[in-house]
Structure 1
Amino acid sequence: MDPLMARYILTNARIITPFRILDGGNVYVEDGKIVHVGETDMADAQVIDAGGCYLSPGFIDLHVHGGGGADFMDGTPEAFLTIAETHARYGTTALVPTTLTAETDDLLATLDAYTAARRVNTRGAAFLGMHLEGPYFALSQRGAQDPRYIRNPDPAEYQRILDYSPDIVRWSAAPELPGALAFGRCLKERGVLAALAHTDAVYDEVVAAVESGYSLATHFYSAMSGVMRRNAFRYAGVIESVYLLDEIDVEVIADGVHLPAPLLKLIYKVKGIDRIALITDAMRAAGMPPGESILGSEKNGLRVIVEDGVAKLPDRTSFAGSVATANRLVRTFRDLAAVPLHEAVRAASLTPARIMGIDTRKGSIAVGKDADLVLFDENIDVRWTMVEGRVVFGGRAHGA
């Protein structure tokens, strides 16, 4: 048997399902899968007493740049593994590594590092494939993205990148750019999730984007247009369009800083829990103390300041990515937006799994699904994390 994997009986747990919380339940794990929920016998199993804590499906982070002092744009397998292990300590059991705008060669190097790290990643959150954030953005909505690398979609470039790696599962772009609709259709044909991001589009352009395959709003509200005037006439921006179009899912950085309580409540009220995925958008300073840090690669990244629970540009004119962890998202969504705990967990597990098309094997505590499990207390402080049947964080880690 894999030394990191064993049979487990998790007892005395408050089991969080997508619809309710079951008190005093048992969950049985074998060969990396959930094999039973309820009462049964399983020989030679390690018994883990949850002590009345919550047992939750593992959190799935669709948008994360770094943590533990590392960034995926560092372009090394070691950086990938550090980030995966860091976020596992906070309940993330699966994540989508995310790039920043960069030269093509730097993106390819990051894809190579992903491939190497995925083969040896046994002690952290599982990798679900790569998310390319940019470089096809509106300069006016660049946020903390480096303007040196922002450009319009180039079929020769993106076809080369897509051909280079089968590990790209999503790509974020501004749909109003020349060539962006053809880009969206290309992504859809290849089975890659197309997302709206760093965009100044208006309603008609968003509708055209949805018709061309775009289905997700990247970090909703951040770096996207709201209602605006052009030649005295008022237009609905991306924010209003996303509210109107039920087909679009939203990512929400529920760190309590990027979005205040009223906006979190509005998103929950209008979009509904089945369309909301909580994301960290975390950069390398996640899990690290406040102070100076770097957004992007150590080689050519952007210096930022971490304070007030968020990363900021040095002149403090804009946020530069979050330092959130997944458990903080769930806590904030519950406490600030008054979302029931089981629904806050759903937004961090089953809804992201559905968006990525993996909800038949991840995202909820159900027989036959991967044993991605998290034990946490009333404050959503994580006690223990299991990834595909391996205990990667907590008192009984590594089969001890």
Structure 2
Amino acid sequence: MRAYELLEGEKPVKREVNPFQSEKRLEQLLYRIPSLLLDEQVLIIGRQIGVETGTLDLLGIDKYGNVVVFELKKGDSGSGSASEGSILSQPQQYAQALQWFTYDDLNDVYKEYQTECDTANWPDAPTPTDETLLDAFSTHFGTTLEPESFNHHQRMVIVAEQITDRTAANARYLRDEGLHLQCVEVQRFQLAEGEKPSPTVVASTVVDYDDKRVQPREEDVITYPEINEAIVSRAYPAFAEVTHASAPDELFPGGFDHREPRMRSLHPDHPDAVRYGLRVKPLEKGHVRLAIDVTSRGLEIDKVDKESLAGQLRSATNRFERAGFEVDQDRNTFRIVTAHWDVDSVTDVRDNAFLDELADRYAELVSIGHEIMLNAE
């Protein structure tokens, strides 16, 4: 970043960077002027927050309710205590620790932040006056948000006086791989006017992305990729062998970011058209459902005998029902075998005990399905 001062009647004068004395000074400045952090509104709700993977510098909320992790670095992004590797890995670890934070968890962070601001710990910090995070969000952004709408995405922002070429290249790679990662340079220049010239601070976003990727989706296409992946990851050890998969994502070539991701078994004797679906729809439909479907979507198959495959599944009705599953006696395509939970809160779905229950049932569904399909005459 370069800065020139235009003095009246003189040629432009190049001004040098006046580095911050410490990361604390940089943090204090960015805390007071959060508009330097990103070219958008951000509500700061935490500072020096301890999570299981470390202590993050600043935590914010964007206008969509997503959490924004800020990693601050005095000087070059890959220098000093932060190597080129750690400057990117640290915020990823923080975001990973935050991914399961519910609204109540974030509200606790906000309330602790209120307490810290109200003490001598942070004399530079104005104390937030709103009682809850919901109130603070409404005051800051001028709109309301439901508790279930918080933390659908975890964003990461590297802020340094100089973003190195290597940091920028690595960040772009991770961004293109799907991480919500940005890099911002913030530099202070000393200008010449006056006996005691005041510094000028300039911010520039070096690595960015279209914010459509972190916007809420329309109701009919809301997906929960992190929940889908969590269920499958927990269930995978139980059916890894029978599905012939060396990793969970091999079973979901289209990924987990779909309205209803369906597992495709890699067992050579298992019919490709028989799929094991996950339907996580707490806000839109008020339920979570597991299902065995018969579908040729996404397959290079000219014809599928859906009636025959559905009949094989129905022939094991007693086996499925003993395990607590429901079997539809008329359907030949979707939702032939199902398990259903009424749940209307993302917070409830993210509960670890509930995720374990879903994973156990999904593993059982896949196992019984393979037992039936592989032993069919």
Q: Give the greater-gyration-radius structure (CA).
A: 2
Select the structure with the greater relative contact order (CA < 8 A; seq sep ≥ 6): 1
Structure with more of its chain in helix, by fraction: 2
Q: Judging by fraction of residues, say which structure has more strand.
A: 1
Q: TM-score range by the shorter chain?
A: under 0.3
- TM-score with structure 2 length normalisation? 0.25
